[in-house]
Amino acid sequence: MDTIATKRIVLSGYYGFDNSGDEAVLQSILLALEEQGQAQGIRFIPVVLSIDPAKTQKTYGVEAVHRMKPGELIRAIRGADGLISGGGSLLQDETGFKTIPYYLAVLKLAQWLGKPTFIYSQGIGPVHRPMFFSWIRGVFNRCRFVSVRDQESKQLLQRMNVTQEVIVVPDPVMGMPLASSGHQAEGLSKEAASVVGVSLRFWNQDRSELKVLSEALASILEQSDAHIRFLPFHLPSDTAASEYVIGLMDSKHHNRITIANNVTHPQHMLSEVSRCHLLIGMRLHSLIYAASQQVPMIGISYDPKIDQFLNRLDMKAAADTKMIRAEAVVSEALRLLKDREAWQQEKRPLIDRLKSEAQRPAQQIASFFK
């Protein structure tokens, strides 16, 4: 009888921050490691670096340590057989100077301690500060496996002169299954006609994009029998953005508008998206959830990662936060509500391919340890 090898593996990412997209990345990686490990006779014991270890432990049933406590972090890595960094947009300096140094330091620490390191379907960039190029190059060239989630990330690493082989795979969330136990969508009537899911975030200082989107959503309600279901992916800020937009809309529509409140488990949010007939999304993972469930989507781009994902489905964003027209969003929404099945038929082969490729990094990591 074959013995099963046990391997402790540390997972580094943006975990424990109540961001549904990043939590979905974690859930997807955990499920993929379990499945691919079993296929190759390996039992992975994940140890997650989280800002809220108790919550991560309770939600996923895994070990977790505090990502900002050096003593705990060093002990976790020293006691592990390897470290996975990703997925998500970890190596970018758009949201601040400290992000890239933190994630590279975790990788570098693992390498100093002689642990194999793996880059798991990351989106690289934007990287505005050239000083980071050599830092990323130095760390990535010492990784055992590097995978990114789009061609643009691979090209950026090539411009940084990363010589390690870089493979392009889908975002891990494309492979996340629906939970076996159903999630009840509170406040949403089973009789609701067409459900339009809406995932928003604050972006422009003047909130101009949200003002235009409120006009677009009001117009969709006027011209259809749709129900608007706001889906906050990052709590509590996305709930505030949703409430801000609802406040701009005429109260006569409010009986056809709900918010999915306090949905923190990624598979429960996936279930919410699966009930939609159309999704209008600013959050990347709202679009990825929609694709995985074959829900037609409209992307509102605030970051190149939105465009890069839509490119993989031969799509373009209907608008971006710099230039957004309500009429363009409304006409595309009404078209997709009417031609939903044609969209699904056209996109199904692309979606199926992305789903089948999503587990490739876990397969490679299990193979390494085998």
**Least confident residue range of 177-181, 216-220, 273-277, 339-343:** 177-181
pLDDT value, residue 253: 85
Q: CA-to-CA distance for 80 and 48, rounded, in angstroms?
A: 11
**End-to-end Cα spacing for the chain:** 16
pLDDT band at 195 (very low <50, low <70, confident <90, very high): very high
| 189 has pLDDT over 70 | no
- Residue in this structure with the two tokens 């490729």, named with its chain if needed: 357
Interstrand relation of 297-301 and 319-320 (parallel, antiparallel or unpaired): parallel
Q: What SS3 class is residue 8?
A: strand
pLDDT band at 230 (very low <50, low <70, confident <90, very high): very high
pLDDT value, residue 281: 98
Average pLDDT over residues 89-112: 95
**Least confident residue range of 31-45, 154-168, 189-203, 216-230:** 189-203
Average pLDDT over residues 189-199: 82
Sign, CA torsion 261/266/271/272: positive
Q: CA-to-CA distance for 53 and 239, rounded, in angstroms?
A: 24
Average pLDDT over residues 30-56: 97
Average pLDDT over residues 339-368: 96
Interstrand relation of 82-88 and 257-259 (parallel, antiparallel or unpaired): unpaired
Q: CA-to-CA distance for 163 and 278, rounded, in angstroms?
A: 42
Query: Mutual orientation of helices 360-369 and 20-39 as an angle, nearest 10°?
Result: 50
- Which uninterrupted H or E stretch holds 86? strand 82-88
pLDDT value, residue 181: 67
pLDDT band at 1 (very low <50, low <70, confident <90, very high): very low
**Both structure tokens of 352:** 């199926």
* CA distances (Å), origin 228, targets 189, 194, 284, 339, 352: 12, 9, 19, 18, 28
Is the bond into 130 cis (omega within 30 degrees of 0)? no
Phi/psi at 233 (5° precision): -90, -30
pLDDT value, residue 183: 67
pLDDT value, residue 180: 77
| 213 has pLDDT over 80 | yes
**Both structure tokens of 75:** 């002990």
| 337 has pLDDT over 70 | yes
Is the separation of the CB atoms in 174 and 289 below 8 Å? no
Q: How far is CA 222 from the centre of its chain?
A: 32
pLDDT value, residue 49: 98
pLDDT band at 223 (very low <50, low <70, confident <90, very high): very high
Q: Which domains does the chain have, with CATH numbers?
A: 5-168 (3.40.50.11720), 195-354 (3.40.50.2000)
Average pLDDT over residues 171-189: 79
pTM of the entire structure? 0.90
Is the separation of the CB atoms in 299 and 328 below 8 Å? no
Provide, rounded to the nearest whole percent, the portion of the chain with pLDDT above 90. Answer: 91
Q: How far is CA 73 from the centre of its chain?
A: 24
Average pLDDT over residues 115-139: 96
pLDDT in tens, 52-76: 999 999 999 999 999 999 999 999 9
pLDDT band at 191 (very low <50, low <70, confident <90, very high): low
Average pLDDT over residues 92-117: 96
- Residue in this structure with the two tokens 């909130």, named with its chain if needed: 207
pLDDT band at 140 (very low <50, low <70, confident <90, very high): very high
Q: Is 144 exposed, middle or buried (CB count within 10 Å of its CB: 0-12, 13-18, 19+)? A: middle
| 350 has pLDDT over 60 | yes
HEC letters along 185-214: CCCCCCCCCCEEEEECCCCCCCCHHHHHHH
Average pLDDT over residues 200-215: 97
Averaged confidence pLDDT in the chain: 95
Q: CA-to-CA distance for 194 and 215, rounded, in angstroms?
A: 19
Q: Is 29 exposed, middle or buried (CB count within 10 Å of its CB: 0-12, 13-18, 19+)? A: buried
